Amino acid sequence: MSKPPAALRLDRLLANLGYGSRRDVQALVGAGRVLLDGVPVAEADGRIALAPDLPDRMTVRGRPLDPLPGLILMLNKPLGMTCSHKEAGPLVYSVLPERWRRRDPAISTVGRLDKETSGLLLMTDDGGLLHRIISPKSNVPKRYVATLDRPLRGDEAALFASGTMLLDGEEKPLLAAELEVLEPKLARLTIHEGRYHQVRRMFAAAGNHVVELHRDRMGGLDLPADLEPGQYRLLAAADIAAIFAGG
């Protein structure tokens, strides 16, 4: 994980968290709307230690301070949302509080899910952590549940596990992937890389068609059953460790 700074000027911290410009933040502090341990902070330009308990000790306009830089969260991505900062249409970022969308460093998705794929999507403002999760060296497996148009033939598990399967237009074979057949038209597939539309293209190469796709696990981290589509949860250190423990 990249190390966030140990201390920052208060106006810089709050501006980076999206509370407004430094001038806005200075006005907030001047109006006594920023409290530390219940006491109004006097100086907007004083340095403040970025201790993990700061959001429990500081309030802004009467509400707990937002998560400090270095956050990672999991979202149960709903269908129909795009993992992009730029494209038109509903974006996954729209589920986050508005202020979180003005943070610097910005919150980005850890890899992507297609617009029509649901399930476990990680989002972070920590570039170092993001790269560690998606790096092939970390081998963080991703598990999907696919609903298929036609019954499985029976040879797909061997094909996907072969390590020699080629996708249309590609020259590098896919890494071996594990298929578990749950029902004739329902399967779980665990992959160890992240090529464009990979799961849909793998089933297409096996003569089938994915009608629904849902990611339910990354590494050893499961999407909790009580996290509804569109809901998100901040991850704790143990959850982050679990991501890397499932390889």
Active site residue 114: yes
Asked if 84 interacts with ligand URA (CB under 6 A), we say no
Asked if 117 interacts with ligand URA (CB under 6 A), we say yes
Nearer to ligand URA, 131 or 197 (CB): 197
Concatenating the DSSP letter of every residue in 181-223 gives EEETTEEEEEESS--TTHHHHHHHHTT--EEEEEEEEETTEEP
Nearer to ligand URA, 26 or 82 (CB): 82
Q: 114, 125, 126, 226: which is the annotated catalytic residue?
A: 114
Tell me whether residue 63 is exposed, middle or buried, using C-beta atoms within 10 angstroms of its C-beta: 0 to 12, 13 to 18, 19 or more: exposed
At closest approach, how far in Å is the CB of 189 from ligand URA? 9
Distance between CA atoms of residues 198 and 142, nearest Å = 11
Asked if 83 interacts with ligand URA (CB under 6 A), we say no
Asked if 198 interacts with ligand URA (CB under 6 A), we say yes
Asked if 73 interacts with ligand URA (CB under 6 A), we say no
Instruction: Take residue 93 and report the two structure tokens written for it.
Output: 């970022």
Concatenating the DSSP letter of every residue in 122-147 gives EEES-HHHHHHHH-GGG---EEEEEE
At closest approach, how far in Å is the CB of 76 from ligand URA? 14
Asked if 120 interacts with ligand URA (CB under 6 A), we say no
Nearer to ligand URA, 17 or 191 (CB): 191
Q: Annotated active-site positions, please?
A: 114
- Chain residues that interact with ligand URA, rule: CB under 6 A: 113-114, 117, 197-200, 213
